Amino acid sequence: MIDNSGNDYSAFLKGLDLFQFAVLNPQIAMLSFLKVGQQLASQPKKIEDAQQDLLNRLLELQKSFVKEMCNKDDDCIDLKYNNKNEKFEEDAFENNPMMLFARKFHETTSQWLLDTIDSMENIDPKLLHSARFFTKQYIDMMSPDNFPFLNPHVLKETLDTQGENFKKGFEMFMEDIKNGAISTNDREQFEVGKNIAVTPGKVIYQNDIIELIQYEPTTKKVFAKPILFVPPWINKFYILDLNEQSSLVKLAVDKGFTVFMISWVNPDKRYRNKGFENYAFEGLLAALDKIYDVTKSKSIHTLGYCVGGTLISSFLAYLASPLCKKRPKAHIESATLLTTLLDFEHAGDMAIFMAENYLSAITSQMKEKGFLEGHVMYNTFSALKAKDMIWRYFINSYMLGKKPPAHEILFWNSDPTNLTESMQTFLAKDLYRDNLLKTGTLKMFGVPLDLTKITTPLYMVSMKKDHLVPWQATFDSLKLFHDNVRFVLGGSGHVAGVVNPPVKQKYCYWINDKITETAQEWLDTATEIAGSWWNDWFEWIKPMMGEMITPPVIKDFLRNAPGIYVNNKTPEQLTER
């Protein structure tokens, strides 16, 4: 769209569309509230009790607030000027009664809303889940901090800069609208291959879907059996190789592992029909065969992160079937599954965005383009942690006028990849909606996938605060496997808990050799250990890595790591089809 002055607003409109679709869709939210309201209408006593509860809480708030104000040494808060620079003192707004009350009122009413929803009975659990999610979204949105005249830091910054903060904020807002996403970090401070994804290696193989990276050894001897890292194709692989201090790849190489990494292509419309089976055979199987050709090892270990673990598990189930038609040249010795969902019955808040209404909107968008744009997924993931990933930067950037600081993980998080139409449909319908992998009705090239047939040793690690893959849901997956599984629970969330190098001495993890009936029972009887789960994983896999040998020489390669797919580029033979 171009106006009479020659300004192109197409990017701006695209940005607005993405914000509306992926952050808060009022139509879908209201539909959830309407359905819950219809069912709640048949419970008048519950409505009456909820109203009385709100009244009691507000009366209690009024009493406590008046008491708190009256107990202060001064009768009122002095908003005097600072004689030196004629600007308000640091705490003048922080202790303002109006702002204090606004926060208390928001806190009280918000908790009442959530408690009321949680207390509802005889209502579809999925509907309640959806209503609670959208209620939490609006609670975060209506926080007093998000309004300039109720945020003391914004008011002080406005006075100190004479409103310059809003001028800078508006400029950043317009730029983010054009890009279709809220900026969460200073992207100019990072460059893939320069200070991100810098572990030395070579791209030794490439096809339409993957580049295969082999990392250069740093030890005189290495373990005989190599390991293949399979990252999620929703994001770039370098989350496992951020920098020297936070790289699982580098630490594994320094411990004598021969590490290979899949780097997925960022697909466009030409890939619209590339689906889960293609990623399994042209991605995972092709990588395993190439690793065998290079190392001649008859056994290969695998590590999958998020849906990368789902891919490995599904492929193992395919190999376990007597109907399996094609096997890799080497045997998969073990599988490490990082925050991997296999039973999607309790998939957490992500399931909200797999509802039919969202699927319809996504399908119509993909029908035209052939893929789902990466920024849509990025905005969706941000909406799942709106307080931290949206409103925090809304305040800092648009109201305070400050650029976000540089942060490696947030740089990776804002560097998403597209999803092919076939893959998005598979993930949304076959896995999240219909849960076909759990029921054993999912097929790979006509072969039913039965996870119970897998006998490969498994190491499953989940994160206690994971908002994308709830650890209780991954724990439920244990019932699908045999006894040769080690389940570990790490601290923090989906990304920070995984990228937790031992040298940082952050968080902790829990272990329990017993597989209990419920996740809570497992945690109640588990042992908490300080430090990173990386230590436990290395101890678990080391006895299976084989003898120490001379490192394999990287003879033939296409280019240096991190390759070209990670930078959204494709070689000439792919772009000229």
User: Omega into 267 within 30° of 0, i.e. cis?
Assistant: no
Residue type, 322: P
CA angle 27, 117, 345 (to 5 degrees): 75
> Distance between CA 207 and CA 504 in Å, rounded?
37
> Distance between CA 189 and CA 173 in Å, rounded?
20
> Distance between CA 17 and CA 173 in Å, rounded?
15
Per the residue annotation, which of 70, 76, 306, 508 is the catalytic one? 306
Overall residue count recorded for the chain in this entry: 577
Q: Is 324 a catalytic residue?
A: no
Backbone angles phi, psi at 477, to 5 degrees: -70, -20
Please give the span between the terminal C-alpha atoms of the chain, in angstroms, as a whole number: 30
Which DSSP symbol is given to 93? Answer: T
Tell me the pairing of strands 222-223 and 227-230. unpaired
Residue 445 to residues 224, 278, 323, Cα–Cα distance (Å): 32, 10, 10
Residue 395 gets the label, from left (phi > 0), alpha (psi -120 to 50) or beta, of: alpha
Which DSSP symbol is given to 221? Answer: S
Residue type, 262: I
Contact between residue 283 and residue 210 where contact means Cβ atoms under 8 Å apart: yes
Contact between residue 266 and residue 418 where contact means Cβ atoms under 8 Å apart: yes
> Distance between CA 338 and CA 340 in Å, rounded?
5
Reduced to 3 states, what is the DSSP secondary structure of residue 303? strand
Catalytic residue ranges: 306
